[in-house]
Structure 1
């Protein structure tokens, strides 16, 4: 089974950063509680802008697909659209590790 890495880039619209973060935190809580095959899920913010980056790892692509089917993820996606919360489309990039290391 190949571990799936996912990077998501979210660019909040001006003045919408708090609402976007609130929605992301709800996804983090739901993921932590309900998805044992999600190994990593954390939120970062770029140093030079208000963009959020989410770093995720799943035991498989099927586990990532499961994540996207969950109500808390669907609620996030719907709110982003309905409330016009982002300045550009959310970018979600699944990938597989080629080389490197995680800890020393």
Structure 2
């Protein structure tokens, strides 16, 4: 991974992309365990549409190419207008595959190069405690 693309997001090296300051290191998770994460991006004023445009490229790539992505949804926080992702991968390998795709690297790189975010992104690895994903 080209770490220069991620420096503006608070990432100093490849492992920081996964072990960002405030999250659990997923390396401690079982290799075959599903990976669920929440990502939050805070666009600068007037930059939300460009951020959404770049992130839609990732969403389109995930839909077309990532069978290991079980859930990949982009939301807008109605109060803060932050862009939030809920992502679920079949396992750690599927999540690693995602962050090594060209469309991911290019879109994240553009976020940095165009200085679109007001602060470092938040990345939270989660585990399910209760509830359901889809009611049938």
With the length of structure 2 as denominator, give the TM-score of the two structures.
Answer: 0.72
Deviant stretches of 4+, over 4 Å: none
Tell me the residue number matched to 2:134.
Answer: 103
Query: Is residue 30 of structure 1 aligned with residue 61 of structure 2?
Result: yes
Query: Is residue 54 of structure 1 aligned with residue 85 of structure 2?
Result: yes
Query: Is residue 10 of structure 1 aligned with residue 10 of structure 2?
Result: no
CA distance in 2, matches of 1:15, 1:48: 15
CA RMSD, Structure 1 to Structure 2 (Å): 1.1
Q: Structure 1, unaligned stretches of length 5 or more?
A: none
Q: Structure 2, unaligned stretches of length 5 or more?
A: 1-31
Structure 1 residue 54, shift from structure 2 partner: 0.6
How many aligned positions are there? Answer: 104
Higher strand share: 1
